[in-house]
Structures are given as structure tokens and as C-alpha cells.
Amino acid sequence: MKLILVALDGSKRAPMVLEKAVSLARAFGAKLALLRVVRTPPEIGDELRTTWVSLEQAMYQDATSDLAKVAATIPPEMLAGSAVELATPWDGICRKATTIGADCIVIGSHGYSGLDRILGTNAAKVVNHADCSVFVVRPER
């Protein structure tokens, strides 16, 4: 394993996901590529699209700033880069992993709400659609 894509969402669980990814990278002598995927809700109609474009830009800038702070905590020799993508989270993660040739994706799990059970979580969709192995980080019990 040489390259691990770490999908971070800015949630309270993100530091735990990053910690596990760093441990995995150390164990395998791998590098980490950090990724944050943001998007506006697809249900937004055309009449509101111009308002949401500026919101999407703000979300992108905030995510870029946040990810830069996270990247600064990674030992430079372990960091292969970082990126923010505008996409549906699961699809953006899978496409990025394929594009960079990641050997593994590290992603956090999320609890199942009633809607998640019907539609599936981003983590579940990544597991089902990724071209590489996926390491799902669960919170400690």
C-alpha cells in the first residue's frame, strides 16, 4: 500500500478518521492524500441557483481553509497532497481515488437514520463503488 485517500467531512469525527489514517500510513509506509467533498443540495431549483452558487463558493473556500489546517498537522513526508471537490460525496470520493491511483480509502462511518437505511450512507456507497479497498472508521464504543 503506497497511497491512502483520506475522506474528511469536517465533522466531529474527522480527527478520529485522520488519526486512524495516519496510523495506517505509518504501518504501511504509505502517503496520505486528503480530500474534502462539498456540494449544495441537488433539490435546489433553478430560480435559487444563483443564490446557491455563492453559497457553494463559500462552502468551497471554507473547506479549502479547513483542509489546509488539517494538512499542516500531517508530517510533510507523509502528505501526498490535499484537494477539495464539488461533487456528490460518495461519487467524488470514488472518482478521486481512481484518478490518483489510491490503494485504499479511509472514511468515517455515520449512524443510520431511517432515511440512511433507505438511501444508503456515503460510506456504504463508497464501499460498494470504490475501485480499491475501503477502511471504515467507527467511533469507539
Q: Is the pLDDT of residue 132 over 50?
A: yes
Round to whole Å and give the CA distance between 98 and 12: 27
User: What torsion, rounded to 10 degrees, do the Cα atoms 64, 67, 73, 75 define?
Assistant: -90
How many Cα neighbours within 13 Å face the side chain of 59?
A: 17
Q: What per-residue confidence (pLDDT) applies to 114? A: 46
Grid cell of 71 as nine digits = 494538512
pLDDT tens-digit series, residues 58-105: 889 999 999 999 999 999 999 999 999 999 899 999 999 999 999 999
Poorest-pLDDT segment among 15-19, 92-96, 118-122: 118-122
Query: What pLDDT is recorded for position 139?
Result: 81
Report whether 106 contacts 4 (CB < 8 A).
yes
Domain that holds residue 104: 3-137
Cell of 107: 472514511
pTM to 2 decimal places: 0.86
* Phi, psi (rounded to 5 degrees) for 30: -100, 165
Is residue 138's pLDDT more than 60? Answer: yes
Cell 508530517 identifies what position?
A: 75
What are the beta bridge partners of residue 83?
35
- Strand partners for 85: 37
pLDDT band at 42 (very low <50, low <70, confident <90, very high): low
CA 17 – CA 7 distance, rounded (Å): 8
> Is pLDDT of 41 > 90?
no
Question: What's the average model confidence in pLDDT over 24-42?
Answer: 90
CATH code, domain carrying 20: 3.40.50.620
- The number of folded domains in the chain is 1
